[in-house]
Every structure is written in C-alpha cells, then in structure tokens.
C-alpha cells in the first residue's frame, strides 16, 4: 500500500517513516501512527505523520502483518 495517499493511513497503523535528517540516507523508522499531520489528500514524498514515540516523518511503507 502507498504512503502517498492519506486514505491509506489510519491512526494506530504500523508504518515505516523517513525522518527529515534521514532523507539522504533513506534510513527508515518503524512505529505506530499517533497523528496525521499532512492536510492534503496526497503528497508525492509521503504523508507526514507523528508516531506514538513523538517522532515525525513521511510514510514510506505501511507494515501489513
């Protein structure tokens, strides 16, 4: 599933995000969505979210278990 569409992302989902400082390296951080921060329906670089840990980044992968 794509992390560029807001409809695909729900609070409580497990996702992998890229933080601003990790954009060059592509290092991903896994966590649970606490809050969706992007207002638009889509974003080419991924929907911006805040994880339960307080980390903010753009969704690159949605973890399906």
58 pLDDT higher than 90: yes
1 in a structural domain: no
Residue 24's domain comprises 6-62
**What pTM value is reported for the model?**
0.93
**Region 22-50: what's the mean pLDDT?**
97
pLDDT band at 27 (very low <50, low <70, confident <90, very high): very high
CATH number of the domain residue 26 falls in: 2.30.30
Q: What is the pLDDT of residue 36?
A: 98
Residue 38: CB atoms within 10 A of its CB come to 17
pLDDT recorded at residue 2: 80
The torsion defined by the Cα of 23, 65, 8 and 32, in degrees rounded to 10, comes to -60
Total domains present in the chain? 1
Q: Indicate whether 32 belongs to any domain.
A: yes
Pick the more confident residue, 9 or 65.
9
């Amino acid at each position: 599933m794509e992390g560029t569409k807001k409809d695909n992302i729900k609070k409580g989902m497990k996702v992998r995000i890229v933080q601003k400082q990790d954009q060059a390296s592509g290092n991903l951080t896994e966590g649970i969505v606490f809050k969706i921060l992007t207002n638009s329906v889509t974003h080419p670089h991924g929907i911006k979210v805040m994880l339960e840990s307080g980390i903010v980044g753009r969704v690159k992968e949605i973890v399906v278990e």
